[in-house]
Amino acid sequence: MKKFLRQVERNCVSGAVVLLPLLVFGVVLQKVWGFFQKYGEKFAKLLHLDEVFGTIATDILGGVILLVLLYFSGYMMRLTYLKKFTEWIDDKLMIFLPGYEKNKKEAEEKLSTKVKKPSTDIPVLLKNGDYWQPARLIEEDSSGSAVVFVPTAPFKDQGQIFVVDSIHIKKMNETTLGNLNASVKSLGKGILDFK
């Protein structure tokens, strides 16, 4: 009987771990869509589109407002301050939402198949004498030069910038910047598993 109860308890905990991120995502999505739907309704009444299209005008204008906001948010992401702010939010979400990092990585992989990413701002190993140092590839040109940022542990945003020959770097295409940042924060733990 104890074995059966232990099995039931394990299954319930595992089910909660699986369902919690999905439930949180669903609630957040419902709140976001409700927010844009409310403003879509106001614009539909203002433009008298609700008289022509009925209740569907609310959804259409809410979707248009959401798309415009997404477009301008993507444009604003080019600003360094906002990029740092969103990275900070990502770090906090990884702590408080189980499964967030996995779902984010899957979404980024799906988006990367649609939008080809440049091969910069990726984790690399920089050859420094007889040893390799973890770094981020910032920029690379066709003449064989590269700009790399070497973080000073445990801070991912503090370090030094070097201009080196591309032959002195080894790209780690299977490693994410999140993994590199976590490793720098933990003083190098996990770097040996990077590929």
- In this structure, the answer to whether residues 15 and 103 fall within a common structural domain is yes
- In this structure, the answer to whether residues 28 and 67 fall within a common structural domain is yes
Q: Per this entry, what is the length of the chain?
A: 195
Q: Which SS3 state, helix, strand or coil, does residue 120 take?
A: coil
pLDDT greater than 50 at residue 140? yes
pLDDT at 119: 56
Q: How many CB atoms lie within 10 A of CB 126?
A: 20
- In this structure, the answer to whether residues 139 and 97 fall within a common structural domain is no
- In this structure, the answer to whether residues 149 and 129 fall within a common structural domain is yes
- In this structure, the answer to whether residues 136 and 86 fall within a common structural domain is no
Of 35-44, 163-172, 186-195, give the lowest mean pLDDT range: 186-195
- In this structure, the answer to whether residues 131 and 42 fall within a common structural domain is no
- In this structure, the answer to whether residues 41 and 110 fall within a common structural domain is yes
Total number of domains constituting the chain: 2
Higher-pLDDT residue of 20, 140: 140
Is cis: bond before 154, omega within 30 of 0?
yes
Locate tokens 């209740």: which residue? Answer: 55
Classify the C-alpha dihedral 91-92-98-104 as positive or negative.
Answer: negative
pLDDT at 82: 65
- The rounded distance, in Å, linking the Cα atoms of 6 and 66 is 46
pLDDT greater than 70 at residue 120? no
Percent of the chain with pLDDT over 90: 0
Tens digits of residue pLDDT in 21-39: 777 778 887 887 888 888 8
Domain termination site, one of 65, 98, 114: 114
End-to-end CA distance of the chain: 46
The values of phi and psi at residue 127, to 5°, are: -75, 120
Higher-pLDDT residue of 101, 82: 101
Tens digits of residue pLDDT in 103-115: 777 777 777 665 4
- In this structure, the answer to whether residues 129 and 91 fall within a common structural domain is no
Q: Using CA atoms in the order 159, 161, 167, 171, what is the torsion angle rounded to 10 degrees?
A: 50
pLDDT at 81: 64
Domain termination site, one of 91, 114, 137: 114
Tens digits of residue pLDDT in 55-84: 788 888 888 888 888 787 777 666 666 667
**Two structure tokens written together for 195:** 């590929």
Domain termination site, one of 114, 143, 173: 114
The model's confidence at residue 117, banded by pLDDT at 50, 70 and 90, is very low
- Cβ atoms of residues 50 and 57 within 8 Å: yes
Q: What is the pLDDT averaged over residues 159-173?
A: 87
Q: What is the CATH number of the domain that holds 182?
A: 2.30.30
Domain that includes residue 70, residue range: 2-114
Is the full-model pTM beyond 0.95?
no
- In this structure, the answer to whether residues 21 and 62 fall within a common structural domain is yes
